[in-house]
Amino acid sequence: MDTTVYLPVGSSSPAVRARSLTKTYGTGEAAVHALAGVDVDFAAGQFTAIMGPSGSGKSTLMHLLAGLDTATSGQAFLGTTDITRLGDRELTRLRRDRVGFVFQQFNLLPMFTAEQNITLPVELAGGSVDPEWLATLVSTLGLEQRLSHRPAELSGGQQQRVAIARALIAQPDVVFADEPTGNLDSRSGAEVLSFLRRSVRELGRTIIMVTHDPSAAAYADRVVLIADGRIAGDITDPTPESALAGLDALRTLEPAVQTGPVA
C-alpha cells in the first residue's frame, strides 16, 4: 500500500487532512471501492483543486472531508477535529460554523432573494449577519445590483456567485466546491473561478474544489490528482497545460506523477 502522504508545498498548518480514508459502496461481488485509502493534507489559506477522471472518487473524497457522508474506515480531520467520529448534531454545528459548500447545481432556494439566500446559514445558526462582511462579499463577488432578485431572475454565473457568498458568509474554515463550473458556460465559469481565487487571495479563505476540467484546475494554487480511489499525483502552481498533462498521465495508467518545483 502506498503510504505517501501528499503534503502541500510550503504549507503552514493543514486545514483539512485525510488519513487512510476508504469508502466502499455495496458488498461482496458488487462492492465498489470508491476510495481505497487516501492520505492527503490541504493547507489553510490555499485554493486546492482535486482533479481526476469521471468516477475516480473526487466527489466521494470531498463528501467525506466535509462530513456529508460516513467513511468506511480511516479518518478525516478538519483542523484538529476528527469528523469521522462526530454525530449528526455535531456535524450540523460543524457545517454551520466551519464548512461552506458550493454546488454544481447552485442549489439556491427559489423562494428567497439573493440576499436572503446569502444570509440563510447565519440565520439557521441563530446568529446575526456581520453587515461589513456581507458588504465585502457582495462587492467582491459583484452582486450589488442583484441582491433583491430571486434565483429565477439571475443568470447561472450570478447564481453561482450568490452560492459562493452563501458559502462564505459564516466565515468558515474551509469551503468545498464540487464542479462549481459544471453547469456554466466557459465565460461565466471563468468569472466564477476568478471569484473563488479572489476569495482566497483577498479574503484569506481556504477552498477545496473538485473538477475534471484542467483549465478550471489551473486557477488553483495546487492540484491533487486522483484515480481509482487513490491519490495519484500532486501539481503545485498548475497551468492548464500542466494540469492537462497530469490528467493525461492518469488516463494512460502511468504511475503517480509529481511535477512542479520540488522544494
Ligand X SMILES: Nc1ncnc2c1ncn2[C@@H]1O[C@H](COP(=O)(O)OP(=O)(O)O)[C@@H](O)[C@H]1O
Say which entry of another protein, ligand X, Mg ion, none residue 55 contacts (CB below 5 to 8 A, set by partner kind).
ligand X
Q: Which is nearer to ligand X, 182 or 260 (CB)?
A: 182
User: For ligand X, which stretch binds (CB under 6 A), given 9-17, 51-59, 87-95, 240-248?
Assistant: 51-59
Q: Tell me if 14 contacts ligand X by CB under 6 A.
A: no
Q: Which is nearer to Mg ion, 59 or 159 (CB)?
A: 59
Q: Give the binding range for ligand X (CB under 6 A) out of 4-12, 50-58, 77-85, 120-128.
A: 50-58
- Looking at beta carbons only, is 50 or 169 nearer to Mg ion? 50
Which residues are paired to 231 by β-bridges?
Answer: 226
The CA-to-CA distance between both ends of the chain, in Å, stands at 25
Shortest CA distance to 165 belongs to which of 120, 210, 218, 221? 120
3-state DSSP helix/strand/coil percent for the chain, to nearest 5? 35, 25, 35
Cβ atoms of 113 and 150 within 8 Å: the answer is yes
241, with CB counted inside 10 A (0-12, 13-18, 19+), is exposed
Is 49:222 a contact under the CB 8 Å cutoff?
Answer: yes
Closer residue to Mg ion, CB minimum distance, 59 or 259: 59
Indicate which single residue of 54, 80, 128, 252 sits in contact with ligand X (rule: CB under 6 A).
Answer: 54
103 binds, among Mg ion, another protein, ligand X, none (CB under 5 to 8 A by kind): another protein
Which residue's CB is nearer to ligand X, number 20 or number 140?
20
Residue 27 binds ligand X (CB under 6 A)? no
Three-state secondary structure call for residue 242:
helix
What is the smallest separation between the CB atom of 179 and Mg ion, expressed in angstroms? Answer: 6
Residues 117, 151 contacting (CB under 8 angstroms): yes
CB nearer to ligand X: give 134 or 249. 249
> In sequence order, what E strands does the chain have?
14-25, 32-43, 47-51, 73-78, 81-82, 99-102, 174-178, 207-211, 222-227, 230-236, 257-258
* Shortest separation between residue 56's beta carbon and ligand X, angstroms: 4
Which of 103-116 are b and which e, b meaning 16 or more Cβ less than 10 Å from the residue's Cβ? Answer: bbebebeeeebbbb
Bridge partner list, 143:
none
Q: List 14's β-bridge partners, or say none.
A: 43
CB of 235 vs ligand X, minimal distance in Å: 17
Q: Residues in the site for Mg ion, rule: CB under 5 A?
A: 59
Q: What are the residues binding another protein (CB under 8 A)?
A: 59, 62-63, 68-69, 88-89, 92-93, 95-97, 100-101, 103-105, 107, 109-112, 120-121, 123-126, 166-167, 170, 178, 182-183
Q: Which is nearer to another protein, 47 or 106 (CB)?
A: 106
Instruction: Check residue 34 for interaction with ligand X (CB under 6 A).
Output: yes
Give residues in contact with ligand X (CB under 6 A): 25-26, 32, 34, 52, 54-60
